[in-house]
Each structure stands twice: as C-alpha cells, then as structure tokens.
Chain A
Amino acid sequence: MSSNTKITPSSLSKKDLPWQIEWDNDKCSFCGQCTSVCPMKAIKMSVSRKRMMNLSLGSGVKPSNSYETFQTIMQNTTSENACIGCAMCTQVCENHAIMPVKSDEPSKLAYHVNQGGNASTRGGRRKSNTPGVLDQIKFLRISMLTDPALDAGRHEFEMNTLLGRVLPPEENIKLLKENGWIPPVREIYPLVIGGMSFGALSPTMWEGLQMGVSYLNEEMGMPVRMCTGEGGCPPRLLRSKFLKYVILQIASGYFGWDEIIRSIPEMVVDPCAIEIKYGQGAKPGDGGLLMWHKVNKLIAAIRGVPEGISLPSPPTHQTKYSIEEAVAKMIQSMSMAWGFRVPVYPKISASSTALAVLNNIARNPYAAGLAIDGEDGGTGAAYSVSMNHMGHPIASSIRDSYLTLTKLGKQNEIPLFGGGGIGKNGNLAANAAALIMLGASGIQIGKYVMQAAAGCIGSEKDRCNICNVGKCPKGITSQDPRLYRRLSPEKVAERVVDFYLSFDMEIRKIIAPLGRSTSLPIGMSDAVGINDYHAAKRLNIKYVV
C-alpha cells in the first residue's frame, strides 16, 4: 500500500491474515507455477521498484540515487484473496521456495469476511482445538488369562452389520410360517461412506469412490456401501448392477429424484437402501447448499435445475408439517416405491430432540434404522455460524439413543448409524469401535474419505475449507475441469481400498484382544472407559485413571 492510499476499515496487512506467505527470493526461480496454482489468487508475481542510494566516502562526490526494478512474489491482503493455507504453492514449487505459515496471533480476517453484508460461508468441519470424546475413550476389557485374546491376523472375524428393521425373533418366526411381509434387511460393512452429493463432489472424486466401493465388494468381499447425498445419481449408475452398493438419499430439495423415480422401472437391481435426510450434523436446522459456482451443465442436468444458480435446500421437507407425517408417511411412500423390498431410514442431526424422533421411529414398522450425524460432521457448504456453533456431539446422542432402545427392548430392531467427525483426528478405527461399543450398529464417514482417499487438506483450524465455492485445489469438490482433472479417479479408488483394508485390520486389532470375533460388539459398553469423570457418568461407562 502506498503512502497516499486510503486506509479503509477493512484494509488488512499481511500480519492480519491467518496465513502468511513466506517466500525465499534466493531459491525462487520465478517460474510462476505457485501463482497460477493458487486457488485464491492470494499471491501474484510482481515487479517492484526500489531506490538505490549511491554514497561515496570520498569528498566532492555528491550522493545520488537511482531506481532499480526487481521481481517478487507478493501476497494479496484483501479478504477475498486472503491465503487459505492450502499450500498448493509449496506443492508445485520445485525449489521449496514458498510456503504459507500460520499467523502467530489471532487473525483479523474473521471481522471482515462479511463484505457486502454477506455472512461467511465455507466448507469443512466446525472449528475445534480439542480432541473429541471418542478420541479419549480407551478399550479396557482385555482378554488374557480369564479367556484367551484372539489373533487379529489369523482368526476368522464376522464384521458385518445389519441395515434394516429387524423384527423381534418370535414375530419373525411367526411371519416366516405365515409367509407374511418381513422388512428387508441388508448385511453390510459397518463403515459406510456417508452422503456426499454428486455436485458437492467433483465427477472424478465420485467416480473414484464408486470404483473403490465396487472393488471392495467384487474383489475383496467387503459389502461396503456408499450414500449418494442429495444430488441425484448418474443415470447410468441407476441402471447398472452396481446400484446395489448405493444408498440413495432424498433430502428436502428433492434434487435428482425426478430422474431416480423415472428410472425405477429400468433398474436391474434394487438400491441398498433409501436415506431420508432430515438433518446434517454440521449445520443442524439448515438444508443442503450447493452454491452457484458449482452448478454447471452436468450438475444442473442431473439435479433437474437451471445452470448457475445456488441450490439451497429448505431446512425441512416442505410438504410435511409434523414428525408423524414427515417420518411415517415419507418412509412408507419410499418403501412403497420399491415394493417394500428396500430399507428406508431417516438421517437426522444429533440434537437434544433426537430421542423424540427415535421414539417415533420405534413405533413405525417401516423405519429401517436411524442415522444420527454429530456436530463434527463435514459439509460442502454452510454458513460458518451454523457450522461453528450449532449442533450436538455424536457420542452422547448415540449412547442416549441406544440406552433408550435397550429400555424399549428394541436395540436389535432399529440399527443406529453414527457419524460426524469419526476419525477427524486420524483415529478412524478407534473412534468407530468406541461408537459401536456405545451402541452404534455402523458408522458413516465423509470428510475422512476426502482426506484419506483424495488428500483433502481442509482442517478444523482454518485451513482451506473452500469446498463451497468450487475452487478445491485438489479437485475433490470442484466442478471446474481444470481443477478436477488433477484428481485421478483410479488413484482415489486405490486409496479407498487402502483405507478400508487398514480400517478392517485396525478394528480387528481392537476387538480381538477383547475376545470378540463372532459378531460386531455393538453395545459392549463394559469394554470401554474414559479418564474424564463427567464423560464417564454421562455415557454410563467406566471412569478410569
């Protein structure tokens, strides 16, 4: 900023930004790769002028000055061009000459991201600096002498879980005898790729995930399932045999459902299940949001909308006005669409009202389960205030729900699927096992998938998180071919298989020492403990120090 430029309230210096670019003049080759890769245009090549003083020690020679020009990499300081710390510049620099560094004091940018009166939106997870409760849970009940620990590497393990309404055994036997209707139940792998829409994710990312899931099913014998999220499903997938690995999501915007309903007569297999999304942990009380940047021709066609407009789904399903209607009628309608052959379950955000939904579902014979999404869940786009300050942790929500089901005697009848921040600190198997032992039948993951399978670098500490505007530097959540071509679907598929296989081994390494192998240890709460007295009391597990 030159000395005669106006200082406005939002004039920021490099020091005020959350990320500052450190650039090394000596190493820089001025190739320009960093500036061209930067998704934010946060850095620019610049030619600057500097004044050189010519001073002489001798007498009679007057000091003079001259001007030289030099090349530099400059950091923009406007809020719309602030560095997001993605470090793509570092990644492309062959000389290691450039890197974003986190500011050593709180950023001032937060006060200025609302330019034009627009509340800040972003993608990612809620900001957080503390480890989650799930990370603190330990597995205590180790078999040694009272009974032998099992060998995670050599033993046979039954890891699958059930998705679907399971009847009480006596009722089931009676219906079998009478040839009555028995609700459909799917045996699936307990780690489900949760709803991330075609639209939120780039075509290459979606294709990679589908390929990875298909490989796990067809080649590895692991019945892994993936939810579409709210955004429809590519027409060819709807008509392929791979649809059975897909959970179709319907949400309050009904995006893509015109195409899905039309394709039902042409489906060669049934989908795994239908998920009715009522809420999302990352932004409870808010609907899905696909910002206009990402609504290109393809996305518009699949969703059945015009191009280039933002797609905010309503916070709730507009045709319903009560829980009875919303849950009962919608579940029944969706079940009917597939001839009662496909499990239909609601997904809600964790909330202090979750138990009311659960109690309602318990009375609805068509409800195939309940998915609960906790506050640490990710999202492709949301208002920052919703993401950072709204929501309910998943651990106590799942625990309360499980204990309620146990009180009702329906803990085997309504599977609970928990999601929202599972593996957010990299401890996927440990978090998943803890949640299963607290009562979850299965786990949904989303952000972890982007991180592990595609190298998403977004974090809970203000790094990147620009999924909403389609500028994802890794091409994971972008609809811009120049960006998403960076991502190889084959490599994504490979990574999906990698992390599923390693998860499988890690979960065995947890449950084998607990002496469990014949069935997934759902609700095995005697095996877990925590060194936080209040958390232990709240979750009804052991307090250990």
Chain B
Amino acid sequence: MCRLFAFTSEEPLSPIHALEALDVMREGHDGSGVGLFMRDLGGPFEDLKDCPVLSGIFTEEGLRRLDLFLMDLGFMTKFKMSIRVPKTPPEGIPERHIYLIRAYECPRSWDDLPQEEKDRKLLEIRLQIRKMGEEKNDMIVFSFWPDVIMIKEIGDPMEVANYLKLGRDDLKARIIMAQGRQNTNYGINLYACHPFFLEGFATMTNGENTAFEPIKDYLLSRGITGYQGYQSDSEVFAHILHYTFNTLGLGLEAYKHILTPLQEDKLGEHPNEDFLRQLKMTCRRLIIDGPNCVIGCLPDNRLFMVQDRKKLRPGIVGGKPGLYAFSSELCGLDAFIPDRDKTKDFQPMHLDTAIVNPDRQEVITCRQTQKLPLPH
C-alpha cells in the first residue's frame, strides 16, 4: 500500500518534514520510491512567483538539448537550484546526472497574452520536452509551472532525501504533498510516480483504481491537451480534478460527486437532485470504484482529501491554525504536529471532502448530502 502525507503551513517548511512523517508510516509502504510536490514556495523562489519553474531529471546531453530548445523559444533562466549528488548513489537509487529546478522568465512575446493562453503554452512546452526526452531517454520533466516544484525518484524516501540533500535551507514551501512507495503495478517509471500534476492541479492517491481502464479511455477521448500518459492508474484523479474545474466549470464540492456519485436513496433527497442526477449520468465513465484515498491541491492553494465510496483506505486531517496536515495514518500526523487539538482531527468518510483553505485556519468538511454551490 502507498502512504501519503501533505501539509499546508503559513511558514515555508522543508520537504524533509513531510518525508519524516512518511517515514513514521513506513510499515505501510515498501520504500520503493518517493514523490514530492511543492507549491507556494519559499526561499529564493519567494520573489519568482510568476516565473514558470521547470522540474525534472536530465542527462548531460538532455540538459544541452533543453537549453537550446527553451532558448529558441525565448525563455531566459532567472534562477536555478542545482542538486548535486555524490557520484555513486546508494543501493536502489538509479544514477542520474542532474535533478533540475530552474525558474525561467517567459518570452517577451508572451507579455500581452491572456493568462489562459500562457498556461496552455506552458503545458504544451512541458509535453514537448517530455516527448523529446522519451525519444532519446535523456529528459524527464515533472512540471513546468509557476510556483511549483516536483521531485520524484525511485528508492527509499529517507535515503532519497538524504542523497538529494532535500533538507537544505533554500528548498522550502508552504504546501507540500509527499507520497511513499511508487507504483509497482505497471512497472516503475518516474512518470508513473505520484503526485500527478496538470495545469495547477495536483493529486496523489493511495490504493488501486479498479475502474482505471474505462476512465482512461474516457479521458483520452476528451481531446484535451495533457490528458495523456496514464502509466499509473492514479494519474486519472488529477485529470478528473482538472476536468471538473476547467471543462465543467464546477468547484471542489462537485469533485466527489463525479468520483463517487450519491446512490439513489440519498440522491432523491438532495436539494440539487436534478443537477446531480444529470451529473451522475453524464460523468458516469469517471466514476471510480476505489479503494482510493485522494489528496489534492488546487491552483488557489487549497488542499483537500476525499475517499472513495467504500472508504477502504486510511486518511486523517488535523492541525492547528496556520499548520494543517493530511496523512494516511494518525502516527504521521502525530509526528508532524504533536501539539494540535486531537479532538478536532477528522477522518473523511465515504461522503466527505475535507478542505483546508489558503488561510489555513480550519478544516472545512463538505458532505455530499449538502447543497452544492453551483456556478451561475
């Protein structure tokens, strides 16, 4: 099983804290890999909020090709963080040339473009780099987005953290999502590693998605740029979230209604019965069967957790104003925020979405049986 840990903090914190919390839960994962998503960055990235940050792993040749490619497009490097690693990695971690985290200034020609257009271009460029990398096996790119850093590697999470020296002072973020144990069902491929990211939406998941095939088929046939890959059955959760917001224009409260719609008895009593009945029908191919616990992050820095209908995976949310964490297990939460009011801990059940807003003041719970805020 995988283990998940995420926090949202007023103060930027090092990812090492999230990995330590994962380590407390190590009985629940096999230490086969780690994935990190960092947003609302601190340190040197604090003043570069509008600059897209490229995160990935490159060979020497790959890096050369990347530089040429981005320079040709008119990107200028604004800041780079080099992660130098010892020549010989510990056992279980592959040898890499460079883990790249680099902030760019967008081409001048983009200045007058609307934000949506810029976002679309950033996505297309990331996908093109991915394609180039796959052709020559020299580049792996996780994200190319403002205020977002992603790191993924195979190996024991703590060992990877020490090897990459992730405890360094200049690598901090206010929101971090971390996942231990990477996807072993479809062969280890870094593109199959959680968390998954698309245009500002990120998710990571615990559990196997048994309805993966029809969901994948459906997403692939939407004709939406970025709905691709699917080396992992969990990637679809990020794309369904993206679809909920960007295509359907719905909010986070609707996400759970798409993943696991209400059943007939509750649907009949719901104040938005008509709408939800139609949503259930039209989005039927996106219904998950779980068992899955999904933790996700929205472009507006909200962090949330939802469970599938069966609620067979663990998940708990707790904290104190200014610092909240989402964890697979209580022990992870205890290790990270021992001084919280534990009576306010919340374990989302089959109807719940637990949300912490960007103000980080409380855990908001939204039940599927409640009235749905609909866009006008």
Contact = CB atoms under 8 A, between A and B. Distances in A.
A409 B211 contact: no
Interface string A483-521: 000000000000000000000000000000011111101
Specify the main secondary structure of chain B where it touches its partner.
loop
B309 interface: yes
Q: Which of B217, B274, B290, B312 has the most CB of A within 10 A?
A: B217
Interface string B271-293: 00011001101111101111100
Specify the main secondary structure of chain A where it touches its partner.
loop
B260 interface: yes
Given A146-B208, A162-B284, A517 B214 contact: no
A367 to B, nearest CB: 16
Given A407-B221, A412-B284, A412-B285, A147 B291 contact: yes
B208 A182 contact: no
Nearest to A519: B287
Contacts of B288: 518
B196 to A, nearest CB: 19
Contacts, number: 107
B221 A408 contact: yes
Nearest to B313: A147
B353 to A, nearest CB: 17
Contacts of A182: 278
A10 interface: no
Given A169-B248, A409-B222, A176 B278 contact: yes
Contacts of A407: 221
A299 interface: no
Contacts of A169: 247-248, 279, 282-283
Given A185-B281, A517-B289, A170 B247 contact: yes
Given A409-B222, A516-B210, A521-B214, A172 B285 contact: no
B185 A516 contact: no
Contact of A167 (B221, B274, B282, B290): B282
B213 interface: yes
A271 interface: no
B285 A411 contact: yes
A411 B221 CA distance: 9
Interface string A149-188: 0100001101000100011111011001000001001000
Interface string B223-260: 10000000000000000000000011110000000001
A519 B218 CA distance: 15
Nearest to A168: B282
A143 B211 CA distance: 12
Contacts of B279: 169, 172-173
Contacts of A156: 263
Q: Which of A167, A182, A524 has the most CB of B within 10 A?
A: A524
Given A519-B211, A526-B212, A406 B282 contact: no
A521 B211 contact: yes
B371 interface: no
Nearest to A149: B210
A86 interface: no
B310 interface: yes
B interface, size bucket: 35 or more
Q: Which of B210, B287, B289, B308 has the most CB of A within 10 A?
A: B210
A526 B287 CA distance: 16
A90 interface: no
Contacts of B312: 147-148
A518 B290 contact: yes
A155 B278 CA distance: 25
A68 to B, nearest CB: 76
Nearest to A174: B249
A166 B214 contact: no
A279 interface: no
Interface string A507-545: 000000011111101111111000000000000000000
B284 A166 contact: yes
A108 to B, nearest CB: 52
Contacts of A172: 278-279, 281-282
A185 to B, nearest CB: 6
B167 interface: no
Contacts of A162: 281, 284
A524 B211 CA distance: 7
Interface in B295-317: 308-310, 312
Contacts of A168: 282
B358 interface: no
B12 interface: no
A518 B214 contact: no
B116 to A, nearest CB: 16
Contact of A523 (B210, B213, B278): B213
B210 A147 contact: yes
Interface in A119-160: 141, 143, 146-148, 150, 155-156, 158
A180 to B, nearest CB: 12
Contacts of B74: none
Given A169-B279, A518-B289, A147 B248 contact: no
Contact of A517 (B223, B283, B310): B310
A182 B282 CA distance: 11
A166 B283 CA distance: 9
A409 B223 contact: yes
Q: Which of A168, A518, A523 has the most CB of B within 10 A?
A: A518
Nearest to A158: B263
Q: Which of B208, B212, B289, B308 has the most CB of A within 10 A?
A: B289
21 contacts: A147-B291, A169-B248, A170-B247, A172-B282, A173-B250, A176-B275, A406-B218, A408-B221, A409-B218, A409-B222, A411-B217, A412-B218, A515-B291, A517-B310, A518-B308, A518-B309, A518-B310, A519-B289, A521-B289, A524-B211, A524-B213
Interface of A: 141, 143, 146-148, 150, 155-156, 158, 162, 166-170, 172-173, 176, 182, 185, 406-409, 411-412, 514-519, 521-527
Q: Which 8 A-B pairs have the closest CB atoms?
A: A515-B210, A409-B221, A169-B282, A147-B208, A526-B213, A519-B287, A523-B214, A412-B285
Given A407-B221, A518-B289, 7 more contacts: A148-B291, A166-B282, A169-B247, A172-B282, A173-B250, A412-B282, A412-B285
